[in-house]
Amino acid sequence: MHLAHLLLRKVRWVIKLILFDIDDTLVDHQAGAFQAMQRISSLMIKLNYADDRYDFSEFIRSYETMSHTLWSQFELGEVDISTLLEKRFIYIYDWFGVKGFDFGFIEKEYWNTYIENCSLKNEWLPLLQQLSSTFPLAICSNGMEFVQRRKLVYTNILPFFSHFYFGNYYPDCKPDERFFKKILLDFNLQPENVLMIGDSLNNDISPCKNLGVRTLHYTGSASFQSIRQSIMELING
């Protein structure tokens, strides 16, 4: 009887689905965002909205504060993702007095630079290849879908994922638990059969722990070998 109970417990806890955050988990969002703002700065000079002696430090600090506030508003349901992105560009245009005929070019340059600098963090590619041969892998990320998918294509990891969940508006976004509950319903799984891997305690780890989903907090500070080992231990029980 005791052996049967242990076997049932082991079956109950087996991992059947792995969820991945994108930004600063799989790809280096911080590097992409930094280079994108460097590109914006150079464009302001090139397009004659600032001279080559202009100090962009105050603008960048102010922009980052504004962007952080908008993301907080997004998570509270006060703005959706498309409004958030629109307001960020409007902030740039208002600061430098950019003319409307330059909007499209600037936005294209921003996104191209951002995506091209969101390189893979560590050696995810071979590990994703290995995991995807055994488990369904799903993306679970806040952000505009066309941008997030381009990152996956650019880093050559899109084929490893079979399902995609992009949070575009509240409550269909992280960290709302309803966002994660929908995934459980879609796969008809219990929380303990799912592993969530992400960098954000607030968006990825805490809501999943509250539901009983197993989690791995990826901070980038530990060696990737130790991260890989932790994943293997979790999926193997």
Q: Write out pLDDT tens, residues 170-192.
A: 889 999 999 999 999 999 999 99
Collapse the DSSP code of 155 into the 3-class scheme (helix H, G, I; strand E, B; otherwise coil) and give the result.
Answer: coil
Residues 47-91: tens digit of each pLDDT: 999 999 999 999 999 999 999 999 999 999 999 999 999 999 999
b/e string for 150-164 if b means 16 or more Cβ within 10 A? Answer: bbbebbebeebbeee
- pLDDT-derived band of residue 3, with 50, 70 and 90 as boundaries? very low
Mean pLDDT of the region 100-116: 98
**Same domain assignment for residues 181 and 225:** yes
**Same domain assignment for residues 82 and 35:** yes
pLDDT of residue 222: 80
**Same domain assignment for residues 15 and 72:** no
Are the C-beta atoms of residues 171 and 52 closer than 8 Å to each other? no
* pLDDT at residue 209 greater than cutoff 50: yes
Mean pLDDT of the region 207-235: 93
Residues 119-169: tens digit of each pLDDT: 999 899 999 999 999 999 999 999 899 999 999 999 999 999 999 999 998
**Same domain assignment for residues 129 and 198:** yes
pLDDT of residue 237: 72
Number of domains in the chain: 2
Residue with tokens 């309803």: 178
- The rounded distance, in Å, linking the Cα atoms of 171 and 179 is 7
CATH number for the domain including 75? Answer: 1.10.150
Beta bridge partners of residue 167, listed in sequence order: 142
Radius of gyration of the chain (CA): 20
Beta bridge partners of residue 216, listed in sequence order: 197
**Same domain assignment for residues 124 and 227:** yes
- The rounded distance, in Å, linking the Cα atoms of 222 and 219 is 7
The residue segments making up the domain with residue 95 are: 30-116
**Same domain assignment for residues 152 and 84:** no
pLDDT of residue 12: 53
**Same domain assignment for residues 97 and 198:** no
**Same domain assignment for residues 191 and 103:** no
- Least confident among 3-17, 145-159, 208-222: 3-17
- The rounded distance, in Å, linking the Cα atoms of 150 and 64 is 23
- The rounded distance, in Å, linking the Cα atoms of 194 and 212 is 9
Are the C-beta atoms of residues 148 and 25 closer than 8 Å to each other? no
Query: Strands of 137-142's sheet, edge to edge?
Result: 163-167, 137-142, 17-20, 194-198, 214-217
- Least confident among 11-20, 63-72, 78-87, 228-237: 11-20
**Same domain assignment for residues 133 and 165:** yes
**Same domain assignment for residues 40 and 20:** no
Distance of CA 37 to the CA centre of its chain: 19
Point out the domain boundary residue: 82, 101, 116.
116
Point out the domain boundary residue: 61, 96, 116.
116
CB-facing half-sphere around the CA of 171: CA atoms within 13 A: 8
Point out the domain boundary residue: 116, 136, 171.
116
* pLDDT at residue 1 greater than cutoff 60: no
* pLDDT at residue 43 greater than cutoff 80: yes
**Same domain assignment for residues 107 and 56:** yes
pLDDT of residue 122: 87
- The rounded distance, in Å, linking the Cα atoms of 157 and 128 is 8
pLDDT of residue 6: 41
CATH number for the domain including 179? Answer: 3.40.50.1000
**Taking every pair of C-alpha atoms in the chain, what is the biggest distance, in angstroms?**
79
**Same domain assignment for residues 220 and 108:** no
